[in-house]
Structure 1
């Protein structure tokens, strides 16, 4: 079928001189619009505005983006957070043939993003996604080389961010504010500090993944795609037993008003930190805190790596920031060596 609709998007599928050309028509709102685009596209092909090389299939960036979205839904647990980046990439590269996207053009994309005061870290993350998209194109023989691997596309310099973890005093203050309408935040924070589990896994945790008798949480979906079992310590066990006693749904952390899971606790956590006079702390820092505390307690990095579900040990080492006391002990050990 030369013209088809998938969701709200229209696509044309043209074959000329034995070669097939497929692309989306983002401006089309109905079949008639798509038919007009098909006529224009055929005309451009026949007039030589696009290459008709026998060994070259015309794949637009829009089609590549579609393929990447399909890939992400299957392979990336948090694929939805990539959608805004894909949108920016779609808007810039449009319907270009992916074979026409050069390192120079990618650099123009970076310059444009920087003109909007986008942080270097964000731009680097977007280029990483673009690199993966072109890797898919290479794997499918749509292009010969990944333009993002060019020496011209070096990562932008990122600012060093000061390490942040929760101190014992701040923890006490934070829990003191978990009362009345914010009482529900207490077990969520306890879970984060005593398991190092990511927020998405905590909020989506179901009772059938919790074994209070054998004291472990079984995570079936993690960021790296592997399942893992996280032990439950006594502090968390006490909180979970209270929640089980008043269980409201299949989810461990249930909103009593909606009788289902919490989808976002950003505002609540920000409010609690403000009330407790804690600056510069985000929820993910609780995972950072848990990892730092384990390493500071002398737990082997390989064990911490397994708990954090990291594929590579170097990722775990980012969380293993030595606290000042441990660093002082290390230096004192040098002075006492002889």
Structure 2
């Protein structure tokens, strides 16, 4: 049975009384086998009667199946039976070897936060790296969990670790490197369901802004002193910081975060091509957004002026709005951010909390929750409901609707 295969056709293919196959006319040899149970599996038939299993549709879309087929055909065109090559892959014994030789390459193509995820697996599960994958047991995981909790790691972090390793081992199953996921039944830890909404009060925001200004003044003074020392010794002067709006990236980063609610990663990935000064809009692309959906964030006056000023001092050849000194993407601003908070005497406030501050100010300013959801890029409305308690006037206005006169109703007074 031949059909123009794609994800839509594959997912719509209905189960029948007997197994049947859909073959891809565009990529010869690729086929989807549909079982009466509804299970759908990709195969590559590289010769008549010779095929290898690629993976189930539930974890491998059409595009991935095509790429997997191309990868499997490489050895074949070199004269090696893909089934033999597959057997060599099964010789991967330890969890660490699996990550380095197979999972890492796949993750870098398919995961937005691949490097962070790979680091998580190697750091959190260091004791498992030299263990054969199939021998990592639920008991090993429970002992690991107990030690992590003893070390003071929060349940939310432990759960993210568990999700990461289970996903990796699921891939090993799909790629037929192990028969089953040995920790499939391991459950997540109980989490504290109390939602954190930390935002700055007016006094804290004043101190934060004051310290940003103090930092700018201090860095300019330090540069003046350094140049005076160089001038006296006949050395080349460093560029004056008096001639630019900002001394470095921190102040514009903080101001943009406070006024747009962008995530730190979105800010680090922001490109000048995503900033429309004429329309006063910043576009967060689907490639960098956590929700994988493009959203447009209008710029208020402070955000607009900040970006305009920052643009005036940036190298016109820069593609990213914020680049490190070596021209690379920022991966953190932890040290400068921590010092800023210490100087401002602000505690228990993370970079991500500036996003909460943005949303909280909107809620307290009577902006409706759906608009806040759109500006934040929440895919789930429940995520935005954490700010509902900051807009009590909406609830009051809602019940006041009941006070409107209804003359057509007969009012019966109590005796």
Normalised TM-score (structure 1):
0.69
Residue number in structure 2 paired with 1:62: 96
* Partner SS for 1:164: coil
Residue number in structure 2 paired with 1:231: 298
The 1-side partners of 2:89 and 2:268 are apart by 44
2:170 is the alignment partner of 1:170: no
**Structure 1 residues 254, 122: CA separation in 2 closer, same or farther (over 3 Å shift)?**
closer
Residue number in structure 2 paired with 1:280: 348
1:201–1:219 contact (8 Å) kept in structure 2: yes
The 2-side partners of 1:269 and 1:95 are apart by 37
Alignment of 1:1-150 (within 5 A): 20=88, 22-23=90-91, 60-66=94-100, 67-88=102-123, 91-143=126-178, 145-150=180-185
Residue number in structure 2 paired with 1:269: 337
From 260, 267, 289, give the equivalent of 1:222: 289
CA deviation after TM superposition for structure 1 residue 126, in Å: 0.9
* Partner SS for 1:230: strand
Residue number in structure 1 paired with 2:307: 240
The 2-side partners of 1:252 and 1:299 are apart by 29
CA RMSD in angstroms comes to 3.5
* Partner SS for 1:289: helix
Residue number in structure 2 paired with 1:290: 358
The 2-side partners of 1:160 and 1:183 are apart by 39
1:62–1:90 contact (8 Å) kept in structure 2: no
Rg bigger for which structure? Answer: 2
The 2-side partners of 1:328 and 1:306 are apart by 21
The 2-side partners of 1:310 and 1:116 are apart by 33
For residues 108-160 of structure 1, the C-alpha deviation after alignment (integer angstroms, 9 at most, x for no partner) is: 2223333444333322221111121133234335556544442x524244485
1:22–1:60 contact (8 Å) kept in structure 2: no
From 233, 237, 253, give the equivalent of 1:188: 253
CA deviation after TM superposition for structure 1 residue 213, in Å: 0.9
Residue number in structure 2 paired with 1:212: 277
**Structure 1 residues 314, 306: CA separation in 2 closer, same or farther (over 3 Å shift)?**
same
* Partner SS for 1:217: strand
CA deviation after TM superposition for structure 1 residue 260, in Å: 6.7
The 2-side partners of 1:219 and 1:227 are apart by 6
**Structure 1 residues 330, 19: CA separation in 2 closer, same or farther (over 3 Å shift)?**
closer
Normalised TM-score (structure 2):
0.58
The 1-side partners of 2:179 and 2:370 are apart by 39
Residue number in structure 2 paired with 1:309: 377
The 2-side partners of 1:21 and 1:246 are apart by 52
**Paired residue total:** 284
Structure 2 unaligned residues grouped into runs of 5+: 1-82, 220-245, 404-415
2:90–2:177 contact (8 Å) kept in structure 1: no
The 1-side partners of 2:275 and 2:397 are apart by 44
The 2-side partners of 1:317 and 1:141 are apart by 43
The 1-side partners of 2:96 and 2:118 are apart by 13
1:127–1:148 contact (8 Å) kept in structure 2: no
The 2-side partners of 1:22 and 1:146 are apart by 15
From 317, 321, 345, give the equivalent of 1:252: 321
* Partner SS for 2:389: coil
* Structure of greater relative contact order (alpha carbons < 8 Å, 6+ residues apart): 1
Q: Which range moves more in the overlay, 132-141 or 156-165?
A: 156-165
The 2-side partners of 1:75 and 1:21 are apart by 20
CA deviation after TM superposition for structure 1 residue 83, in Å: 3.1
The 2-side partners of 1:137 and 1:329 are apart by 51
CA deviation after TM superposition for structure 1 residue 212, in Å: 0.4
